[in-house]
Amino acid sequence: MSITNIMIPDILKIRKDFPILDQKVNGKPLIYLDNAATSQRPQQVIDRINEFSLRINGNIHRATHFFANKTTEAYENARETLRSFLNAEETAEIIFTHGATESINLVAHSFGDLFIHRGDEVIVTEMEHHANIVPWQMMCERRGAKLRVLPFGDDGVLQLGLLDELLNEKTRIVAVAHVSNVLGTVNPIAEIISKAHLKNIPVLIDGAQGAPHFKTDVQELDCDFYVFSGHKMYGPTGIGVLYGKRKWLDQMPPFFGGGEMIDRVTMQKTTYNEIPYKFEAGTPHYVGAIGLAAAVDYLNNPELSLINHYENDLLSQATLRLKQIEGLKIYGEAPEKAGVLSFNIEGIHPFDLGTLLDQMGIAVRTGRLCADPVMDHYGVENMVRASFAFYNTAEEIETFYKALIRLKAMF
Ligand code: PMP
């Protein structure tokens, strides 16, 4: 990898699509390195959202007037865009939720209520975000089931050899991150899925950090569920996706009750709608879904076909630079990583580092990164995390590196 010669789509042109980036923070040009928390939205997404606020708004599926029809059409087109993004077999397998967290809760509740009983087991990994631990823990408590954990090594790589021992006749589901939000590890999800499927065990992939970096083909991967959030992949907040195979979704009971998810209601009994509507109670965030589809359209731009390589180059550059800083420890050095670099510098509290970087216009995340078990693994209270998107530049990485050197000298 060469630091100066990054293979580059026309990044300066692309940056113009993100007006928010062209600002000063604390008198310094903004360097936004908190993309794993939330990414920024291109003008194309903002325009699409605005269009639906300025000129068209009608509640979907519920009326025959022009606005309602236009909005319904755009919402269902958005579902088709997301289907195509994931290469799901049918649009009915795409459920709009508020985000990855709600998607996982939906599966934990609905799948759990139907398929998980006393003494059964659920497998998660030690590197999961809280959103892919707590809903399963809550479900295990309700159902009298047991949460089993696949550990990772200090290098941030899952100990896959141990999975064979964990998977047994009591296992009902495996839930694993596509990409760790702390370690950046790209997990071998295809291998995990095929191991689980050998024993007829379904797998949920938490794609919150995967979807922003990779186009995933859920049919090729053969995952049973894939979840992600719009706001981490250049779309709006408050919208996300649950992909599920029809064979599961058809059987699973609804999660929320209310309008739209019903077929017929009497005071004695309610029958439910077909998927996906069975899982979309109430007025959905249709403006969000339309905005998310605009983000997918944006990502489909051929100019962005090289973003994976480009982001990898940024990550390699940042890793190389940070390793030159004495006393800096990087957490997670898996051979396959995406977009995330977590670290601490000896003698500097991560919060001080975050605050001082902010004064230099550099936005990073500090804290426990919603992953207490990862903090416990390394015996640390907090970490600093820099996370990259395709609109970051080699120059920004250099400025970040120099800022860390300056701060190190200050302490
Ligand atoms: N899983 C992972 C790996 C994440 O990084 C996040 C967000 N940090 C989530 C789940 C939850 O996403 P959201 O808060 O958008 O629901």
Point out the domain boundary residue: 256, 271, 299: 299
What would the mean pLDDT of 150-156 be, rounded to a whole number?
Answer: 98
pLDDT interval class at 3 (50, 70, 90):
very low
Q: How far, in Å, from the CA of 283 to the mean position of ligand 1?
A: 23
Whether residue 3 lies inside any domain: the answer is no
Question: Are residues 62 and 25 part of one domain?
Answer: no
Ligand 1 centre from 101 Cα, in Å? 6
> Is residue 101 within 6 Å of ligand 1 at its C-beta?
yes
- Same domain for 61 and 19, yes or no, is no
The mean pLDDT value of the chain amounts to 96
Verify that 263 and 285 share a domain, yes or no: yes
Q: Helix, strand or coil for residue 57? A: coil
Q: Is residue 5 part of a domain?
A: no
Q: Looking at the structure, do residues 265 and 337 belong to the same domain, yes or no?
A: no
Nearest residue to 45 via CA among 280, 234, 305, 259: 234
Task: Answer for the pair 92, 276: CB distance below 8 angstroms, yes or no.
Answer: yes
Domain boundary among 299, 328, 346: 299
161 and 22 co-located in one domain = no
- Asked if the structure places residue 1 within a domain, the reply is no
Whether residue 158 sits in one domain with residue 16: no
Find the domain containing 61 and state its range.
Answer: 46-299
Instruction: State the average pLDDT over residues 29-33.
Output: 98
What CATH number does residue 210 fall under? 3.40.640.10
Final residue of a structural domain among 299, 331, 354: 299
pLDDT given for residue 307 in this prediction: 84
Number of domains in the chain: 2
Distance separating alpha carbons of residues 18 and 87, to the nearest angstrom = 27
Task: State the Cα–Cα distance between residues 368 and 398, nearest whole angstrom.
Answer: 26
The mean pLDDT value for 27-47 works out to: 98
The answer on 336 and 295 residing in a single domain is: no
* Residues 199, 101 share a domain: yes
Alpha carbons 11 and 281: distance in angstroms, whole number = 41
Question: Is residue 2 assigned to a domain?
Answer: no
Question: pLDDT digits over 66-93, tens only?
Answer: 999 999 999 999 999 999 999 999 999 9
Confidence of residue 306 (pLDDT cuts 50, 70, 90): confident
Q: Do 191 and 76 reside in the same domain of the chain?
A: yes
* CA 67 / ligand 1 centre spacing (Å): 33
- Bridge-based pairing of strands 121-125 and 383-387 is unpaired
Domain contains 6? no
Buried b (16+ CB within 10 A) or exposed e, 45-68: bbebbeebeeebebebbeeeeeeb
In a domain, 358, yes or no: yes
Same domain membership, residue 290 and residue 178: yes
Residue 170 — pLDDT band, cuts 50, 70, 90? very high
Question: What element of type H or E holds 341?
Answer: strand 340-345
Tell whether ligand 1 has an atom less than 6 A from the beta carbon of residue 103. no
The number of the ligand 1 atom at minimal distance from the alpha carbon of 179 is 3
Cα dihedral across residues 313, 330, 157, 385: positive or negative:
negative
pLDDT digits (tens, 9 = 90+) for 210-265: 999 988 999 999 999 999 999 999 999 999 999 999 999 999 999 999 999 999 99
Residues 311 and 332 in one domain: yes
Extract the tokens encoding 31.
């360097």
How do residues 98-140 score in pLDDT, each as one tens digit? Answer: 999 999 999 999 999 999 999 999 999 999 999 999 999 999 9
User: Which residues are identified as catalytic?
Assistant: 370
Q: How confident is the model at residue 8 (pLDDT cuts 50, 70, 90)?
A: low
Q: How much is the pLDDT for 79?
A: 98
Assess whether the C-beta atom of 132 lies below 6 angstroms from ligand 1: yes
Same domain for 203 and 85: yes
Ligand 1 binding pocket includes 129 (Cβ within 6 Å): yes
